[in-house]
Amino acid sequence: MWQEMGVLMAKNRMHKDIIIIGAGMAGLTAALYAGRAKLDVLVLEDGLVGGQIANATGIENYPGFMTVSGKELIGTLQNQAENVGAVVDEFDKIEHVVLKAQPKIVETESAVYEADAVILATGMNRRQLPLPEATRYNNKGVHYCELCDGHLYQDKIIVVMGGGNAAVDAANYLTKYARKLYLIHRSAFRADKASVDKLLANEKIEVLLNTEIQALLGDERLEKIKIFDKEMKEERELAVDAIFVNIGVVPNTKLFEGEIALGSAGRIAAGEDTRTNIEGVYAAGDIREKEVRQLTTAAADGTTAAILAEKYMQRLRAARVKRLW
């Protein structure tokens, strides 16, 4: 109402000891450790808590669990972090950051926050389907989140595009809804053997490797796809109701461009100590340059970042006290 009247209302301005941007494995682990250190912790998340891992249906390589869903694992970690005082703010879009100043500034749609230290843990976004007509069918048959949208296609024909672990996990998950499911990938599988074996054992699934999706067809929504078998040199059309795209990820660093040093692949330049080129700013998880990207290494990054951020704040406060004297 105020906006309609042309009145701009000032945003609330608040101070936090530490702000963590991103509520995936790295961010929530950092929140847990920072909360246990009795710091005033705020976790900001633009989208769903959990990030990419929230969609995983059967994680079998996280220590302490024979198998666990991403939703369960992240839910438990969020509860742990909140139980020690961390606040998780979901769906509060971040508009602007100032990282080189002290205090650091993080502005969202609802508030302006100041913080002594910031941990960047925004992870990765799914790569978009590289076809010119893809945006026309967004949420009209083209989707990027099986956990969010899979239920819309009960007893329908579903395609999963991709051949890595995320794609295979998505296909295994979507069989609970699909009447028929195609997994289409341009080359060979890149997924773990255990996940692939589970996929191949499901009678609902037909795997089309060395196959490219060339076009999307349909009037109001997706109705067909045109595919090309590279081995047989054959082109054909498949009647489908939806395609879930899992063809890789890109680092979610656009918000920080011009504020922090980025590597050649667009990830944040930070070592195993998670320190960036800005004092008091740390990068944890898939967002930073690293050779190995696993849930366990994301948790390790979050742990390291929180502990070093606490030490940084101790030095900062000591310096402030010294100046007063």
Cβ count within 10 A of residue 112: 15
- The whole-angstrom separation of Cα 96 and Cα 206 is 45
Name the active-site residue from 46, 149, 192, 229. Answer: 149
Number of H helices, E strands in the chain: 6, 17
Catalytic site residue 145? yes
Name the active-site residue from 40, 46, 89, 148. Answer: 148
Check: CB of residue 158 under 8 Å from CB of residue 246: no
Q: How far is CA 236 from CA 20, 154, 231, 275, in A?
A: 48, 25, 13, 51
Segments in 24-164 forming alpha helices (H): 25-36, 70-83, 146-149
Name the active-site residue from 46, 89, 92, 145. Answer: 145
For residue 310, give the H/E element and its range: helix 295-324
Structure-block tokens of residue 156: 């329908």
Catalytic residues: 145, 148-149
